[in-house]
Amino acid sequence: MYALNPLPVNVLITPDEVTRYFPGNSIDPNIWSSVIQLAETRFVVPILGYNFYQQFCAQKNVVVTSGNQAALQALFPANYNALQISNIVNAIDLITVSSANLALWNNVLWPFIAQCVMFTALPANYAKFTSQGIQKNNPSPTFIDGSAGGTSAGISLNDLKYLRNDVLLQNISVMQEALEKFIYANATQYPLVPCESYNKWGDDKVKDTRTSGIVFIYDEDDCDDKRRNYNNAPPPTPLPIPQTRACTLVLNIVASPNPAHQYLLCNLQTIPLEYPAGNTLTIPHLVGLTVNPTILIGLTNVYCPTVNGVLDNTAGGGFQVSSDPLNPTQVIINYNEVVGS
């Protein structure tokens, strides 16, 4: 999922990812944006540690430059706003160096951060600062015909406190435990995470019969030994199992192709984005890959089998340049790409 990071700094989660985790909530994405950095600083950094947090952020964010602008734009829907130089694109698909980091995000880190952002955003969604002072946000209900009215009402302060302190904090606590246990079980994959963040889930724990709870006890020297072992561990293993993924190429036919314009593939390699007009279209990257013989040229489906990376559309009129230079002819090709190798 590719999205713009609306903040001027790298963060792990985007407003789109928070919304996907809470699909029934129609909160203004600007409210998510305003609290994401605070939520991650308060809840995430103390667990992951500053160094690993910064490393993870650097892997999940990329700054748009003149060199990668076209390739990144092609990863967004056609109707998406044009990417601007210095925009920050955020996507878990950008992380290709470690299967461990992908697993951490998908299994526990994403839901944990989403809960933290919701918790942090509640006060901002309940009240706002105005020139007249702090005011409570009230819904503006309407009848089905659009006229004012209805019975919708905002929750009380007591309801807000219950939702925040009892429900969301409990959810955060559950997901924090899951996060720490996940890191403990895979500690050698996360050498930058402070040992103190997860060592309490080891075997060195005793039952406290007075409180019917568990008291976690660990030796600081033991933690130091583990930290030294983890810091000397080999780097995280790269994606070990190659996988075949259905991918799509969206290429342009133009009068004067610019080799600087590149298209970012599923495996994060790049190929030229623009190609000249002609009866055939040669794409060396497709050699040896399974390609759907039905392609889309402009708005027309064309049967055009690919042989040794060459698409021959002589019978269909070839690949022509659009008369509108602002809207080049697009060729859309579906194929299978091997990723993770």
255: its two tokens: 């009068």
Between 4-13, 82-91, 150-159, 260-269, the lowest mean confidence (pLDDT) is in 150-159
HSE-CB at 171 with a 13 A cutoff on CA atoms is: 15
> Which is it for the CA torsion 188, 192, 196, 201, positive or negative?
negative
Between 131-140, 238-247, 321-330, the lowest mean confidence (pLDDT) is in 131-140
pLDDT of residue 327: 82
Q: Indicate the SS3 state at residue 261.
A: coil
pLDDT of residue 253: 93
pLDDT above 70 for 182: yes
- Mean pLDDT rounded to a whole number for the chain: 78
Read off φ and ψ for residue 226, nearest 5 degrees: -65, -40
Banded model confidence at residue 208, pLDDT cuts 50, 70, 90:
very low
Which residue type does 242 have?
P
Cα 10 from Cα 15, distance rounded (Å): 13
Q: Where are the domains of the chain?
A: 3-231, 243-339
Predicted confidence (pLDDT) per residue in 101-129, tens digit: 989 999 999 999 998 998 888 776 554 55
